[in-house]
Amino acid sequence: MSAGVLSTTLKALGLLTGRGAAKSLVRLCHAGRLVGGLSVSLRATPDELLGPLTHALGGAATKLKLLDVRTTTPPVLEVQWREVHEKWECDGLEALVHNLNDLFRDEPDVKVAAVLGDWDDMLQLWCVPKDAARTLLERRVLDDARNAASVRRLLEPAEREDW
């Protein structure tokens, strides 16, 4: 995708700030130009990222409670949200992103987190409203995200069984 098309698409969705060429999502995120973008140290632990990430996801995600952290290998986070009480083995930050996306898949006010990749020793994450994420997937803007297939699956309409 050309820089001009990328820039136009992101601006039309209200997801880009600032001026200059939009060379790649990873670079834009690291530069702080993506609305909802986070640059996270590769040395951060899942429990350190949980608060900033749930804040960036917004909506009902901000009500998630971290009850306990076990610093085993892999680390285990005990979380509670509404009636959900789970223990998550989070072998890295991407596992945390996956668990949060899955937990909040049916919450329309919670954004979806895309793992854009590494840049300058930082993991680049992007929290995008679900409607905008669908558009970005349709226009193939998120094709290079590490979790693009997972994001696509969680945004698909749920298959319902007719009784």
Give how many domains the chain has, as a whole number: 1
Q: Structural domain of residue 15, as residue ranges?
A: 3-154
User: Residue 107 falls within a domain, yes or no?
Assistant: yes
What is the torsional sign of CA 11, 14, 16, 18? positive
User: Residue 161 falls within a domain, yes or no?
Assistant: no
User: Residue 163 falls within a domain, yes or no?
Assistant: no
pLDDT in tens, 72-81: 999 999 999 9
pLDDT mean over 100-106: 97
Query: Is 110 a residue whose pLDDT tops 60?
Result: yes
pLDDT in tens, 23-66: 899 999 999 999 999 999 999 999 999 999 999 999 999 999 99
Q: Could you tell me what percent of the chain has a pLDDT over 70?
A: 96
User: Residue 54 falls within a domain, yes or no?
Assistant: yes
User: Residue 65 falls within a domain, yes or no?
Assistant: yes
- Please enumerate in sequence order all residues whose Cβ is within 8 A of that of 46, keeping only pairs 6 or more positions apart, or say none: 75, 77, 88, 90, 92, 93, 95, 96
User: Residue 68 falls within a domain, yes or no?
Assistant: yes
Query: Is 162 a residue whose pLDDT tops 70?
Result: no
Q: What is the reported pLDDT for 98?
A: 98
User: Residue 36 falls within a domain, yes or no?
Assistant: yes
User: Residue 160 falls within a domain, yes or no?
Assistant: no
